[in-house]
Structure 1
Amino acid sequence: MGSQEVLGQAARLASSGLLMQVLFRLITFVLNAFILRFLSKEIVGVVNVRLTLLYSTTIFLAREAFRRACLSGGAQQDWSQTLNLVWLTVPLGVFWSLFLGWVWLQLLEVPDPDVIPHYRTGVVLFGLSAVVELLGEPFWVLAQAHMFIKLKVITESLSVILKSVLTAFLVLWVPHWGLYIFSLAQLFYTTILVLCYVIYFTKLLSSPESTKQQTLPVSRITDLLPSITRSRNFVNWKEAKLTWSFFKQSFLKQILTEGERYMMTFLNILNFGDQGVYDIVNNLGSLVARLIFQPIEESFYIFFAKVLEREKHATLQKQEDIAVAAMVLESLLKLALLAGLTITVFGFAYSQLALDIYGGAMLSSGSGPVLLRSYCLYVLLLAINGVTECFTFAAMSKEEVDRYNVTMLALSSSFLVLSCILTHWCGSVGFILANCFNMGIRITQSLFFIHRYYRESPYRPLAGLYLSPVLLGVFALSGGITGVSEVLLCCEQGWPARLAHVAVGAFCLGMTLGIACLTETKLVHFLRTQLGMSRLTDKTT
């Protein structure tokens, strides 16, 4: 498969993932606003911080490293060995689920059952749901590697929609069930997710069309199960070693990604109610980042992993592939920078209004607006880091991954220390500031790697981080205008003044985007090209 074809499929995967994330986040957005009017913020805090942390930690530690290693295989990949390796996520998930469940029940503070009922059952069911989801991991890896885009979109969309409907129904009719509601909904979600993948592959592999096309490395559903043969090893040891390197890295990355939740859970820095408010603001602040940046990062990691060969310097690889990778990286960096700056500049003036509309005075008063404004700055760093790390992790050799783990260890330690200091100094905002610091260090590490990687080639993808002075001036002007508008029109002046404030922001945003289209013509051409390629790929499939 040529680099241009892989690029077209990655663009299609990113655009489909973007639509899927829009659907997910809109549903979650509406659901959270609905829940806030029926349940206490203490229950929301326990579910969204403590129980979700148990689930995400189990899932992340059990499968993240396997995904990165198994999706990096080349054309000569032995899929029977790869699938054997992926199935190891299940016993690993059982181990982490049991161990972390014991920690959550025996070592952490148990909430008051009168305020938050059924906590123990919630821990058991959230841990079980993580194991259930891992049962579908071999199907997911095979689907991702062969760009089964519609399968992912339909499966995850259906699961999220059904989970949301069940949650809303239970909240409306049996709100006294407490954590039972979210625990049953989470288990239902993972079960539907796995069943969709199993049913799809069962029907696909049993149809005569699939056997004629020979598009998959397996011919029947039983080929996806673990297999032992005397002629070769159970797993590919090169992939296994790479998995171990990514596992060490994943453990540290998880601390950085969910660091504030770990501190709230283990150190009791905030009570359950404050944790609920922080998590709601955190989810609202990261809404656009997850909508745009996460599908781009996931899709283009696959692109870079397929186009670039590990263990090889840029000068030793196919120059066509290196050129395409450099062009894509430069454009993605420019896109991430522009999107991040837009969120930072306009988010500052509209944070309080957004919180007031979403959750009322509970969110818009107190520390809520300051939290959201701080998060807008964090989103800018998050956007750039997502692009730089998706290239870095796809191009690094095993030895470089191991060296990077040392850096991640230092970052994890510094994050914990810095979070403690900043939280005692400025409250929950300290979590976001500590995240900004660590994200800046991670970006710096990735930029150094990219610079060294392309140093001896004629390509300079880091040029994507430069913007024209005119565009920077427009951003500064828009920030000033919307800031004055917030002081004069929002948020105690009533709805006519609020609508005027929104109109000012819309005008400034339109002006900024117009100047961006005029000054960043190279990025506009890239986006148009990839949109056309994704449509062409969609028609051919």
Structure 2
Amino acid sequence: MGGQEVLGQAARLASSGLLLQVLFRLITFVLNAFILRFLSKEIVGIVNVRLTLLYSTSVFLAREAFRRACLSGGAQRDWRKTLNLLWLTVPLGVFWSLFLGWIWLQWLEVPDPNTVPHYGTGVVVFGLSAVVELLGEPFWVLAQAHMFVKLKVIADSLSVILKSVLTALLVLWLPHWGLYIFSLAQLFYTSVLVLCYVLYFTNLLGSPESSRHFLPVSRMTDLLPSITRSRSFYNWKEAKLTWSFFKQSFLKQILTEGERYVMTFLNVLNFGDQGVYDIVNNLGSLVARIVFQPIEESFYIFFAKVLEREKEATMQKQEDIAVAAVVLESLLKLALLTGLSITVFGFSYSQLALDIYGGPMLSSGSGPALLRTYSFYVLLLAINGVTECFTFAAMSKEEVDRYNFSMLALSCAFLAVAYVLTRWCGSVGFILANCFNMAIRISQSLRFIHHYYHKSPHRPLASLRLSPALLGAFLLSGGITRVSEMYLCCNYGWLARLAHVAVGTLCLAATLGIVFLTESKLIHFLRTQLGASRLTGKWT
């Protein structure tokens, strides 16, 4: 499969993932606003910080390394060995769920049962839901490797929507159930997600249509663990790469969820403050996650398929290297412009957004300062997502191992910085520590990308430079909206607030106009790939 064809599939996957993320985040956005009217901040804090951390850590440590290693292989591979390797995620998930569940029950502070009832049940069920989700991992990897876009969209959408509906109904009818509500909803979510994949492959493998997908399996039993003809149970090259990624995943999880680990294990914030922080954190990351999570996931697959890990850029097909450089350059520019827009306009509209979303509970305390700081963090988050997407797809096993050592040092430094800054300036310290973390990770990835392309004629990192006109537009917009906030928001009534929104809309429109005039290469890339996603596009 050529680079351009893989690019078209990745663009289609990213665009569908973008719509999916919009749906997810809007549902979560509305659901959180609804829950705040019926449940206490303490329950929100326990669910969104502690129990979700238990679930996400168990799942991440059990599967992330396997996903990265098994999606990196070429077309010529023994899929039976790959599927055997993927089934190891289930016993790993059982181990992590039991081990972490014991820590959550025995080591951590147990909340007051009068305020947060049924904590023990919540720990058990969230751990069980992690294991249930891992049962679908071989199906997920096979679907991703063959770009089954429609399957991912339907499975994720259906499971999230049904979970949200169940949560809302239980909160409305049985609010005294406390953590029972979220435990049942989480287990229901993972069960529906896995069931969608199982039913899809059961139907596909039993039909004549399966032949046109060139699937490496012909019946459902082929997806189960089995001994291959070579009597080797695993592809040991993939297994070694998985181990390298596992060491990296362990460190990356600490960096990704670092503030939640600090909150959970060091008790620097009470459960109510944790709930407010998580709400602001979700609101702050809304646009970034909507745009960049599907891009990172989809274009990691693109880079992993186009680039060969063990070869330098000059030793690979130059057509593929050129396509990868163009894609990386465009994605970096998109990340930079989106991140800057969120930073510039988010600073002046944080208080208004929180006041509309959660009322005085969020807008009168530390919420606005949290969201303003987070708006800058989003810029770093966006750039880091793209740079690591390329870096992890292009690194050799030896380079992944070397990167792990630097990640170890960064993990220790991040936790120390987070603890010190939180003691010094409260919950804002978590976001400042995350900014420190992201800046270091970006510098690591930029150094790798520069070295990777330094012997080739391609310079994708040049996209991180802005034209003077565009830089001036961002600075001017930031100044105008800041003055508008001082004189129009948020204590002067709804007409003043609407005027403040109108000022921001005009500034944003003017900035986007300058983007269209000065960034013709990016506009061409977006039009080409969006067009390709429509035309190539009958979803698999």
Distance 2:42 2:437 in 1: 29
Separation in 1, partners of 2:477, 2:228: 65
Q: Which residue does the alignment assign to 1:472?
A: 471
Deviation (angstroms), 1:532: 1.0
SS at match of 2:535: helix
Letter in 2 for 1:14: A
Whole-angstrom CA distance in 2 between matches of 1:223 and 1:443: 41
CA contact (8 A) 2:333 2:522 kept: yes
Residue 451 of structure 2 corresponds to residue 452 of structure 1: yes
Aligned to 2:10: 10
- Which residue identity lines up with residue 52 of structure 2 in the other structure? T
Matches within 5 A, 1:122-201: 122-201=122-201
Q: Is the 8 A contact 2:80 2:228 kept in 1?
A: no
Paired residues for 1:510-525 under 5 Å? 510-525=509-524
CA contact (8 A) 2:81 2:228 kept: no
> Which stretch of the first structure deviates more once superposed, 200-209 or 27-36?
200-209
| 2:150 alignment partner, SS class | helix
Q: Supply the distance in 2 between the matched residues of 1:285 and 1:209 (Cα, whole angstroms).
A: 43
Which amino acid letter does the alignment assign opposite residue 23 of structure 2? L
Residue in structure 2 matched with residue 366 of structure 1 by the alignment: 365
Q: How do 1:141-540 and structure 2 match up within 5 A?
A: 141-211=141-211, 213=212, 215-229=214-228, 231-539=230-538
**Post-superposition, which runs of at least 4 consecutive aligned residues in structure 1 deviate over 4 A?**
none
Secondary structure of residue in 2 paired with 1:514: helix
SS in structure 1 opposite 2:268?
Answer: coil
Distance 1:209 1:168 in 2: 39
Q: Structure 1 residue 228: deviation in Å?
A: 1.2
TM-score, normalisation: structure 2: 0.99
Q: Secondary structure at the match of 2:113?
A: coil
Distance 2:367 2:399 in 1: 41
CA contact (8 A) 2:81 2:233 kept: yes
User: What does the per-residue CA deviation read over 1:112-145, in whole Å, with 9 as the maximum and x for residues that have no partner?
Assistant: 0000000000000000000000000000000000
Correspondence for 1:52: 52
Q: Is 2:52 aligned against 1:42?
A: no
C-alpha separation in 2, matches of 1:229 and 1:189: 34
Take 2:284 and 2:538, find their aligned partners in 1: how far apart are those partners?
A: 36
248-257 or 213-222, which deviates more: 213-222
How far, CA to CA, are the matches of 2:114 and 2:19 in structure 1?
A: 41
Deviations 1:71-110 (A, max 9, x none): 0000212100000000000000000000000000000011
For residues 31 and 424 of structure 1, the distance between their equivalents in structure 2, rounded to whole angstroms, comes to 31
Q: Find the counterpart in structure 2 of residue 103 from structure 1.
A: 103
- Find the aligned partners of 1:451 and 1:221 in 2 and give their Cα distance: 45
The one-letter amino acid paired with 1:493 is Y
Amino acid at match of 2:172: L
1:339-390 Cα distance to aligned partner (Å, 9 max, x none): 0000000000000000000000000011100000000000000000000000
**CA separation of 1:198/1:540 partners in 2, compared to 1, >3 Å: closer, same or farther?**
closer
Which residue of 1 is the match for residue 31 of structure 2?
A: 31
- Distance in 2, matches of 1:412 and 1:215, equals 42
Whether contact under 8 Å (2:150, 2:539) holds in the other structure is no
Q: What is the CA-CA distance between 1:533 and the residue it aligns to?
A: 1.0
Following superposition, the deviation at residue 474 of structure 1 comes to: 0.3
CA distance in 2, matches of 1:76, 1:198: 25
Is 2:148–2:539's contact at 8 Å kept on the other side of the alignment?
A: no
Partner of 2:61: 61
- Paired letter, 2:51: L
* 2:81 aligned partner, one-letter code: Q
Q: CA deviation at 1:214?
A: 5.4
Q: Which amino acid aligns with 1:165?
A: V
Matched to 1:489, the amino acid is L
- Separation in structure 2 between the aligned mates of residue 471 and residue 420 of structure 1, nearest angstrom: 38
**Aligned mates of 2:461, 2:145 — CA distance in 1:** 28
Q: Counterpart amino acid of 2:441?
A: R
Could you tell me how far apart the structure 2 residues matched to 1:176 and 1:522 are? 56
Alignment-derived partner of residue 71 in structure 1: 71
Partner in structure 2 of residue 84 of structure 1:
84
What's the offset of the Cα at 1:208? 2.1
Measured in 1, the distance between the counterparts of 2:197 and 2:321 equals: 34
**Could you tell me which amino acid in structure 1 is paired with residue 342 of structure 2?**
I
Displacement after TM superposition at 1:232 (Å): 3.5
C-alpha distance after superposition, 1:162-194 (max 9, x if no partner): 000000000000000000000000000000000
In the alignment, the residues of structure 2 paired with residue 208 and residue 236 of structure 1 have an alpha-carbon distance, to the nearest angstrom, of 30
What is the deviation of 1:540? 7.8
Q: Deviations over 1:215-254 (max 9, x none)?
A: 2110011110001135241010000000000000000000
What one-letter code is carried by the residue in structure 2 that aligns with 1:21?
Q
Counterpart of 1:173, as a letter, is W
Amino acid corresponding to residue 371 of structure 1 in structure 2 = L
TM-score using structure 1 length: 0.99
Letter in 2 for 1:355: L
Secondary structure of residue in 1 paired with 2:498 = helix
> Secondary structure at 2:82's aligned position in 1?
helix
Which residue identity does 1:369 align to in structure 2? P
Per-residue CA deviation, residues 506-538 of structure 1 (Å, 9 max, x unaligned), is 000000001011000000000000011111121
Query: Where do 5+ consecutive residues of structure 1 fail to align?
Result: none
- How many residue pairs match? The answer is 540
* Residues 314-350 of structure 1: per-residue CA shift (max 9 Å, x gap): 0000000000000000000000000000000000000
Aligned equivalents of 1:366, 1:208: Cα separation in 2: 61
Is 2:120 aligned against 1:120?
yes
CA distance in 1, matches of 2:469, 2:294: 30
Q: Are the equivalent residues in 1 in contact too, given 2:45–2:273 (CA < 8 A)?
A: yes
| Cα offsets for 1:462-504 (capped at 9, x unmatched) | 0110110100000000000000000000001110000000000
SS of equivalent residue, structure 2 residue 233: coil
* SS of alignment partner, residue 365 of structure 2: coil
Q: 2:213 and 2:162 mapped to 1: Cα distance?
A: 34
Partner-residue secondary structure (3-state), 1:233: coil
Report the CA distance shift for 1:365/1:540 in structure 2 as closer, same or farther (over 3 A).
Answer: closer
Partner amino acid, structure 2, of 1:505: G
Counterpart of 1:484, as a letter, is: V
Tell me the alpha carbon deviations over residues 25-50 of structure 1, each in whole angstroms, 9 at most, x when there is no partner. 00000000000000000000000000
Q: How far apart, in 2, do the equivalents of 1:72 and 1:241 lie? A: 13
> Tell me, what secondary structure is at the counterpart of 1:458?
coil
